[in-house]
């Protein structure tokens, strides 16, 4: 018997992957969580039927949500990931020697526990002494921690279910207030092919709050359309104006390297037009 | 009844698209040809079970195989597409006013005829008076036309069946000889995720023939892994050294614009490492 997992990424299109076995399935307080072993991508974490991360291509997402902000900030000491219970963004942030505290604010403790158990390459750094894991609603956490962080990453699921509030203007305003005077935020911003209206709105919202707003994209095979994007809001530092000689080449990356720190903001024409 | 078309892009992974209807199916002398109407991507041309082009995302492939070479060459007058029977690359080449003759050397006349009938937005420019359509084996055509072209594009299918010879070093040597003294070639080079060995070999082969070799990638949702690539061999002009003030902004593009003419060569780290 051949088992295939098919994700309908839209009503009319999807990806399909051959399964070696299903590892774990549960309904947590917040969502359905599935861990499956695929032949093509290794282990896959699926939340509410949507691929969140896989062994083989997770590096793209986790490097790209992290390094543009971290390498733009002059001295990121106290950093936060909202969502991101798999720990991949935390792992990347810890590559900066300046980091003293990295807080993970994840609403679903089961995602953290299952990632630590089944995805140790991704979640393994959650046990680092610099990491403070908070099982908490990110919106509430942001509200309770004003003027606290140098960098905040919004590593959310799709804008359905528990993550809807993480795509709202009020939330970005809260992040602005949770950042210090020279802080930077980055939010994952979905696919330019399938979520163009959302991208336009999120960019406009962040640009209405932060003095510097930048948007970039990268290729992630298992995410809808294969093209993914992030929006950066920054109070002081512009990634396009950093002194390239001061950029760090983070250890063990496979997608990001400092040579792309500025070029990644040059977008395909139709993508750039979403921001106008 | 719901019909879905599934392409296994590897043994273990694929894409699946909801079908409105099947438009045409035939076995030509060279391959199976299917035209289907999908809800997500509009009409889709499928050769031997592999998506070649779709209404909605064809612009990425056709612009990106064409404009890097055409906008790097100082004065492309006589140009050639090997393969590319759908006419999309020819359409993009004709955007350069310097072009006097654009030859299409496609082995399968049925692909040309069906594209003209069912994909007029892509193939419509094949009737332009500057276009010379040759139904011919591209390898033979190259051999018979030495020192003839300013730009040659290798717009091949996957390296199976009729296209195997279009990925061989001998063929690239033939292209070198078919180009004039300042000529440029670009060959489609598959997915960095799924075809890494092929990419390394093709790059090495082209670099052993041409003084300047460059490699670039772009995001195409319906192609395997969503990340696609091209290899450029050039006798004289380096795309990284062109005077940006002299670049043309080709009309009606949706992916390429001259702002990305140099940045597109900055690769994801793991992709750049395939070329070492």
Instruction: Report d(CA B225, CA B218) in Å as an integer.
Output: 11
Pair B96, B109 in one domain: yes
Residue in A18, A260, A270 closest to B255 by CB: A270
Write the pLDDT tens digit of every residue in B231-243. Answer: 999 999 999 999 9
Beta strands in chain B (DSSP E): 3-10, 13-27, 32-38, 42-47, 50-54, 78-83, 101-106, 131-135, 149-155, 179-188, 212-219, 227-234
Instruction: Report d(CA B94, CA B128) in Å as an integer.
Output: 9
**Strand-pair category, B32-38 with B13-27:** antiparallel
Look at residue B53 in the predicted model and tell me its pLDDT: 97
The structure tokens listed for B124 are: 């419509």
CATH code of A171's domain: 3.40.50.150
Q: Which residue of A has its CA nearest to B8?
A: A16
User: What residues of B are designated binding site for spermidine?
Assistant: 62, 86, 155-158
Pair B15, B107 in one domain: no
Pair B169, B43 in one domain: no
Look at residue A94 in the predicted model and tell me its pLDDT: 98
What is this model's ipTM?
Answer: 0.96
Q: Catalytic: which of B34, B57, B108, B155?
A: B155
**Domain hosting residue B266, numbered range:** 58-275
The structure tokens listed for B266 are: 């900055």
The parts of chain B modelled with pLDDT lower than 70 are: none
Give the A:B interface size as CB pairs under 8 Å. Answer: 111
Pair A73, A198 in one domain: yes
Per-residue pLDDT tens, chain A, 276 aa: give them: 899 999 999 999 999 999 999 999 999 999 999 999 999 999 999 999 999 999 999 999 999 999 999 999 999 999 999 999 999 999 999 999 999 999 999 999 999 999 999 999 999 999 999 999 999 999 999 999 999 999 999 999 888 877 889 999 999 999 999 999 999 999 999 999 999 999 999 999 999 999 999 999 999 999 999 999 999 999 999 999 999 999 999 999 999 999 999 999 999 999 999 999
Q: Catalytic: which of A150, A155, A182, A238?
A: A155
Pair B44, B118 in one domain: no
Record: contact A254-B260, CB cut-off 8 A: no
DSSP string, A110-163: HHHHHHHHH-HHHHGGGGSTTEEEEES-HHHHHHH-TT-EEEEEEE---SSGGG
Q: Which residues of B touch A (CB under 8 A)?
A: 6, 10-18, 38-41, 57, 60, 193, 217-221, 225-227, 253-257, 259-260, 263-264, 266-270, 272
Q: Please compute Rg for chain A using Cα positions.
A: 18
Chain B residues with CB under 8 Å of A217 CB are: 219
Pair A49, A63 in one domain: no
Instruction: Report d(CA B171, CA A5) in Å as an integer.
Output: 40
Short-list B184, B99, B177, B100, CA closest to B142: B177
B34 a catalytic residue = no
Which domain-ending residue is among A21, A36, A54?
A: A54
* Structural domains in chain B (count): 2
Look at residue A160 in the predicted model and tell me its pLDDT: 83
Pair A146, A45 in one domain: no
């Amino acid at each position: 018997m051949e088992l295939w997992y098919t994700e309908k990424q839209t009503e009319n299109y999807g990806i399909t992957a051959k399964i070696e076995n299903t590892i774990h399935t549960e309904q947590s307080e917040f969502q359905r969580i599935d861990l499956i072993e695929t032949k093509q991508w290794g282990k896959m974490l699926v939340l509410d039927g949507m691929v969140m991360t896989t062994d083989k291509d997770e590096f793209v997402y986790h490097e790209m949500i992290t390094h543009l902000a971290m390498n733009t900030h002059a001295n990121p000491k106290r950093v936060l990931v909202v969502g991101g219970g798999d720990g991949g963004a935390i792992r990347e942030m810890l590559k900066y020697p300046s980091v003293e505290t990295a807080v993970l604010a994840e609403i679903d403790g089961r995602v953290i526990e299952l990632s630590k158990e089944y995805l140790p390459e991704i979640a393994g750094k959650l046990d680092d002494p610099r990491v403070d894991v908070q099982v908490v609603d990110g919106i509430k956490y942001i509200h309770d921690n004003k003027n606290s962080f140098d960098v905040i990453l919004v590593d959310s699921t799709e804008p359905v279910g528990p993550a809807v509030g993480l795509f709202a203007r009020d939330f970005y305003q809260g992040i602005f207030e949770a950042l210090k005077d020279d802080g930077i935020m980055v939010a994952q911003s979905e696919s330019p092919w399938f979520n163009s209206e959302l991208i336009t709105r999120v960019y406009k919202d962040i640009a209405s709050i932060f003095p510097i707003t930048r948007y970039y994209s990268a290729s992630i095979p298992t995410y809808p359309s294969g093209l993914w994007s992030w929006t950066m809001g920054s109070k002081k530092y512009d990634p396009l104006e950093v002194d390239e000689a001061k950029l760090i080449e983070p250890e063990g990356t496979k997608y990001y390297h400092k040579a792309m720190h500025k070029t990644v903001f040059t977008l395909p024409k139709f993508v750039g037009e979403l921001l106008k």
